[in-house]
Copies of this chain bind each other. A is one copy, B any other.
Amino acid sequence: MTIGVSGLPKVVEHTMTESDLTYQFGGRYPIADVLPGQVLHTSTEDCFGGAVLTVDDLPSKVCQRFNPVTGPFRVPGAEPGDTLALHFIEIRPARDWGMSATFPHFGALTGTHTTAMLGLPLPEVVWQYDIDTTAGVVRYRARRSDYMTELPLDPMLGTVGVAPANDEVRSSIVPDVHGGNLDTPELRAGTTLYLGVNVPGAMFSLGDGHARQGQGEVCGVGVECAMHVTVAVDLIKGVRTVWPRIETDHQLISVGAARPLEDAFRISQHDLTTWTSRLTGLDDLDAYQLVSQAGKAAPGNVCDPNYTMHAAIDTAVLRGATGYDGVHQRLRVLARGLPAELLGSAR
């Protein structure tokens, strides 16, 4: 069912410019084509569009819009009912600093647009992090004391999605069935993201890199950073995927996006249960029982218009089952085999 992954893949270099940025999924013409079996090498801006350069640049002052994504990229041959596989080979910080902030009426521990509260919002404050790719750390520096500490560098993309179904156009801030602003730390290099295709060409976009983020992204903002991204693209014809799924070398992960948070949990656990039953031949109730004991669960974000939860299971528990007939494993091998010169700056 997989098309074209063999031999040396072609690498599509796409140098991102201002006009390649969009703030929506759906409703846009493609900026480039990437064929199934090809590798895309491009870059993304941070969620501030690069406008926050110091801790004195308040996002509400210096930004017009938030969360630009690079795209959309068209995948010729992709049709509704197919599944798009995006295998992230590399997500590499494009700068040696990242920015985070509290933002009025955004985040889990403050009143928001929908969790409407009287009383003052939290103040808007910016934090700057050093990103040290050699040491593999980001450096946190307090604003109101001289406290400093180091956290592991763990680059990821907060926002990857396709054009939605039913002619909808969604803001890049929103996560939903089309992917979008999932804001989960699980979307790191070495993983494969599966998204259901809703329109011809799939029309995927990506952005919102974080040098790292906590699970739940409680204040609403990660360590925001422009990224260089290398991603292998594949297409699984005739196989539907409803909710976003992620495969790693050792885990299957289902992602739910909804409010309240228990519905995001329900979606992810339901999807993992039925995925498990399909892969193992287990009855749904037997799979439900197995996931109940073996499952891992964590929030991606608890701040965006939809919250995200993921449900994960170790493939060892499933006696080695793989997600989509080995697509992830083939892309993994492909990525490992890529000669450094083909990737250019990606290595």
A117 touches B123 (CB 8 A): no
Given contacts A291-B218, A293-B222, A115 and B145 within 8 Å (CB-CB): no
Q: How far is the CB of A24 from chain B (nearest CB, A)?
A: 6
Give complex CA distance A102, B151 in Å: 41
Give complex CA distance A127, B102 in Å: 35
Q: Which 8 A-B pairs have the closest CB atoms?
A: A214-B295, A116-B270, A261-B261, A169-B169, A260-B260, A219-B292, A144-B283, A215-B297
Q: How far is the CB of A254 from chain B (nearest CB, A)?
A: 10
Q: How far is the CB of A322 from chain B (nearest CB, A)?
A: 15
B281 touches A108 (CB 8 A): no
State which of B115, B222, B280 has its C-beta within 8 Å of the C-beta of A266.
Answer: B115
Interface centre among A129, A171, A266 (most CB of B within 10 A): A266
Given contacts A149-B290, A260-B261, A266 and B116 within 8 Å (CB-CB): yes
State which of B150, B266, B318 has its C-beta within 8 Å of the C-beta of A114.
Answer: B266
B295 touches A297 (CB 8 A): no
B118 touches A120 (CB 8 A): no
Q: What does the 1/0 interface line of A278-292 toward B look like (CB < 8 Å)? A: 001111111011111
Given contacts A100-B289, A294-B214, A258 and B261 within 8 Å (CB-CB): no
Q: What does the 1/0 interface line of A88-111 toward B look like (CB < 8 Å)? A: 000000000000101000011111
B24 touches A167 (CB 8 A): yes
Q: Is A337 an interface residue (CB 8 A)?
A: no
The residue in chain B whose Cβ has the minimal distance to the Cβ of A220 is B292
Residues of B within 8 A of A253 (CB): none
State which of B170, B265, B286 has its C-beta within 8 Å of the C-beta of A147.
Answer: B286
Q: Is A166 an interface residue (CB 8 A)?
A: yes
Given contacts A167-B169, A262-B261, A214 and B296 within 8 Å (CB-CB): yes
Give complex CA distance A299, B219 in Å: 19
